[in-house]
Amino acid sequence: MTDASDIDRIVEWDDVLDDSSYYEILGLLPIADGETIRVAFRQFALAFHPDMHQGLDQDVEPRLHRVFQRGAEAYRVLSSGDLRLRYDMGLEKGQLRLPQAEIPRHASIPAPARPLVELCKSAGAKACAKKATLLIDEGDLAGAKLEIERAIEFDGFATQELRERLDALEVALFAMGG
């Protein structure tokens, strides 16, 4: 369920969308590398994917779709070397979007991440990861964050990919006003 602060955030983003560069939409610096762009898009998708916001009223739902589609467009352009080069040249001239005819309709959206439980070594960490996955599915990102922190502790802070997931979750929480 989407709360009032989520709705406010969606409306605010929609209001500034046409004045924002692809870098601003994904929260990136122009020097971002491919991996950073991929991670930023995942974080953006956690915050703005329509499946994360059920039951929106008829005025807000189209705004959410517009924000998400623009983020997906930003990802398609910035993750393609050729398109990104053309975009950066246009951005220097004040062009915030690449012409639609130049952007492919389909993109190589990031492959699904490995399940959290596969990133863990110890039984305790795996139990925490399973609980975190359930909490994410229920929309309780704060609870999932705590469980991932516990999983990292169980595995002796040695799991880099799990720490990266924690970082992404923290950004998603921040983006959602949490």
| Residues 56, 13 within the same domain | yes
Positive/negative CA dihedral, 84, 88, 93, 96:
positive
Is residue 108 a part of any domain in this protein?
Answer: no
| pLDDT of res. 142 | 86
Is residue 19 a part of any domain in this protein?
Answer: yes
- In angstroms, the CA 60 to CA 89 distance is 34
| Residues 171, 149 within the same domain | yes
Contact yes or no for 79/38 (Cβ under 8 A): yes
| Residues 86, 14 within the same domain | yes
Contact yes or no for 62/6 (Cβ under 8 A): no
Name the one residue in this structure whose structure tokens are 């762009």: 37
How many domains are contained in the chain? Answer: 2
Which structural domain range is residue 16 located in?
4-102
CA-based nearest residue to 169, from 178, 160, 158? 178
| pLDDT of res. 24 | 96
Per-residue confidence in pLDDT tens, the chain, 178 aa: 567 888 899 999 999 999 999 999 999 998 988 889 989 998 998 888 887 887 888 898 999 999 999 998 999 899 888 899 999 999 999 999 988 888 776 544 444 467 888 889 999 999 999 998 888 777 788 898 999 999 999 998 777 888 888 877 776 666 555 5
Q: Domain holding 82: CATH number? A: 1.10.287.110
| Residues 68, 155 within the same domain | no
pTM, two decimal places: 0.59
- In angstroms, the CA 112 to CA 13 distance is 26
| Residues 98, 120 within the same domain | no
